[in-house]
A and B are shown apart, each in its own frame.
Chain A
Amino acid sequence: MPSLKDLKNRIGSVKSTRKITKAMQMVAAAKLRRAQDAAEAARPYADKMADVVNGLAASVAGSEGAPRLLAGTGSEQTHLLVVMTAERGLCGGFNSSIVKIARYRAEKLLKEGKTVKILTVGKKGREQLKRDLSAHLVGHIDLSEVKRVGYENAADISKKVFEMFDAGEFDVATIFYNRFESVISQIPTPRQIIPAVVPEDAATDALYDYEPSEEAILEDLLPRSVTTQIFTALLENGASEQGARMSAMDNATRNAGDMIDRLTIQYNRSRQAAITKELIEIISGAEAL
């Protein structure tokens, strides 16, 4: 049975924890709105880019001179997994859900005898993957100094990916991130970025004139499209992280409240018990006289 003083301290500490989680929840809510706006603002560009690239790719795919970013290297032996997580924790299952699907994929590929390389973005994913897949980690991109994710950050990541691709270090690249559905639902999503995936029905009816030439435009567009996909993933991840943190902190605040209630009842009971005990001692003392 804890003493009254212990209980009082305990209640005090849970109360301050509740204050912190409440504050974190509110900060996350404010950041979430900003992150959602950013994701929203980037959507028209990404959609348009996807349309144009798909249309172009559908007409070039299969031809002899298709760029490597579209046609691939002709092999599927080495896979690069770009695992994008957050720099901070305390956001529920956000980081682990991404790591989980990435790890599942890595294990599946390894079982098939493929080579797996992992590039991590965000500290948390690296920490978790280091435990059992440390031999496969090939690089890390640190975004902890970045306050607001910009296109340059995506460009940095894609630059690294292209360098590796040009050096022939992998054949297929997939990014892993959390797609933002709503505050309570974020869906861990893998998305293949190299070689580009072209939907079956992408061929457009419109016949375009290309300036300078179809190949030159595709050459220019494909890297941009990869960067845009990475940028979209970063933004979705940002919104998801704040959403996940918001609901995690909301739960934590509620749990702290429940705990305070329970502890307060326990505290009051013990206090009452102590008073009753003292009274009994006094009364029985008086009777004995």
Chain B
Amino acid sequence: MADMMQFDLVSPERKLASGQVRAVQIPAADGDMTAMADHAATITTLRPGILIAEGAEGETRYVVTGGFAEISPQGTSVLAERAYPANAEGRSALDAILAEMRAKAATLAGPEKDTLDKAANDLARAIDSIA
């Protein structure tokens, strides 16, 4: 099929997904973007959020905590810092990460705290949308 493209989602410890998809919705740092086949080559950083891969068998949702994505006309690779499937199992892991981020933000001050607070809020929103 001409309108399918290769999609890989990898975290440092394992490969979460790899296969043909129609479109991928990416939580990029500057706002959500959707990549489809023949997208212009782009590299972007990610913010914590929901990543949606639209495959032949429907949508698969993942929560990513950051990282970056490389989009080329042939396919999309997402290199996530940490990524979990958006389900109950992933949720408990994400809750722990969120708590850790909040605890760390409390010890910081200034712009660093703002960045981390923003990331924590993004993550909290992503977690809420799982339920």
- A residues at B contact (CB < 8 Å): 38, 41-42, 44-46, 48-49, 52, 56, 150-151, 154, 206-212, 216-217, 220-221, 224, 228, 231
Please report the C-alpha to C-alpha distance between residue A220 and residue B45 in the assembled complex, in whole angstroms: 8
Majority secondary structure of chain A interface residues (helix, strand, loop or mixed): helix
- Answer whether A209 and B41 are a contact pair too, CB < 8 Å, given A48-B79, A49-B79: yes
Q: List 19 A-B contacts (CB under 8 A).
A: A41-B14, A41-B15, A44-B10, A45-B10, A45-B12, A48-B70, A48-B77, A52-B43, A56-B43, A206-B41, A207-B41, A208-B41, A208-B43, A209-B42, A209-B43, A217-B43, A220-B68, A224-B81, A231-B12
* Contact, CB under 8 Å: A212 / B41: no
Majority secondary structure of chain B interface residues (helix, strand, loop or mixed): strand
Q: Name the CB-closest residue of A to B12.
A: A151
Knowing that A38-B13, A217-B45 are A-B contacts, what are 5 other residue pairs whose CB atoms are under 8 Å apart, sorted by A's residue number?
Answer: A41-B15, A45-B15, A211-B29, A212-B30, A221-B68
* Contact, CB under 8 Å: A212 / B11: no
Q: Which of B10, B15, B44, B81 has the most CB of A within 10 A?
A: B10
Q: Which 9 A-B pairs have the closest CB atoms?
A: A211-B44, A41-B14, A209-B42, A151-B12, A45-B10, A208-B41, A206-B41, A44-B10, A208-B43
* Contact, CB under 8 Å: A211 / B13: no
* Contact, CB under 8 Å: A42 / B68: no
* Contact, CB under 8 Å: A211 / B12: no
Please report the C-alpha to C-alpha distance between residue A53 and residue B30 in the assembled complex, in whole angstroms: 21
Please report the C-alpha to C-alpha distance between residue A11 and residue B77 in the assembled complex, in whole angstroms: 60
Please report the C-alpha to C-alpha distance between residue A224 and residue B77 in the assembled complex, in whole angstroms: 16
Say whether B40 faces chain A, with CB atoms less than 8 Å apart.
Answer: yes
Q: Name the CB-closest residue of A to B31.
A: A211
Q: What are the residues of chain A within 8 A of B41 when measuring CB–CB?
A: 206-209
Q: What are the residues of chain B within 8 A of A207 when measuring CB–CB?
A: 41
* Contact, CB under 8 Å: A211 / B42: yes
Please report the C-alpha to C-alpha distance between residue A209 and residue B69 in the assembled complex, in whole angstroms: 12
Q: What are the residues of chain B within 8 A of A41 when measuring CB–CB?
A: 13-15
Q: Name the CB-closest residue of B to A154.
A: B12
Q: What are the residues of chain A within 8 A of B117 when measuring CB–CB?
A: none
- Answer whether A150 and B13 are a contact pair too, CB < 8 Å, given A48-B70, A48-B79, A221-B68: yes
Q: What are the residues of chain B within 8 A of A46 when measuring CB–CB?
A: 12
Please report the C-alpha to C-alpha distance between residue A221 and residue B79 in the assembled complex, in whole angstroms: 11
Say whether B54 faces chain A, with CB atoms less than 8 Å apart.
Answer: no
Q: What are the residues of chain A within 8 A of B44 when measuring CB–CB?
A: 210-212, 217
- Answer whether A210 and B42 are a contact pair too, CB < 8 Å, given A52-B70, A217-B68: yes
Interchain nearest-CB distance for A226 vs B (Å): 12
Say whether B122 faces chain A, with CB atoms less than 8 Å apart.
Answer: no
